Amino acid sequence: MAAPAGLSLDRPGSLTPVTVLEHTYGVPPEDELAMLVGAAVPHFALQIRGRVASYASVLPADHPRQAELARHLARLDALAHDGQAGKIGTSDLPARPSLTEPASIAH
């Protein structure tokens, strides 16, 4: 039996240092995955997509969660490449004086 990354079978209960890339993470439950993916913004979408893709790669192709992971991957791809539309609305900040007006007019 192989020990999970970071655990030594030589001394039960002892931990050995591992890098983030060597550490193995299990596929998170649906609610945790939804929080991870739902909070994605365009500039982090590809990093989160990489993590979701690694979850998909450890599951069998016919696993019931593959469809969910594929939807998340598609959403993250679109977010990374197309960005996120902002909402058009009114600003809650006061108007600022113009930079083109003479200093004596702008107060």
For residue 10, the model assigns a pLDDT of 60
Is the pTM higher than 0.75? The answer reads no
List the pLDDT tens digit at each of the 107 positions of the chain. Answer: 455 555 555 666 677 888 877 777 788 999 999 999 998 999 999 999 999 999 999 899 999 999 999 999 999 999 999 988 777 777 777 777 776 666 665 55
For the chain, the structural domain boundaries read 30-82
For residue 1, the model assigns a pLDDT of 46
Q: Are 98 and 106 in contact (CB under 8 A)?
A: yes
User: How many Cα atoms sit within 13 Å of 59 on the Cβ side?
Assistant: 18
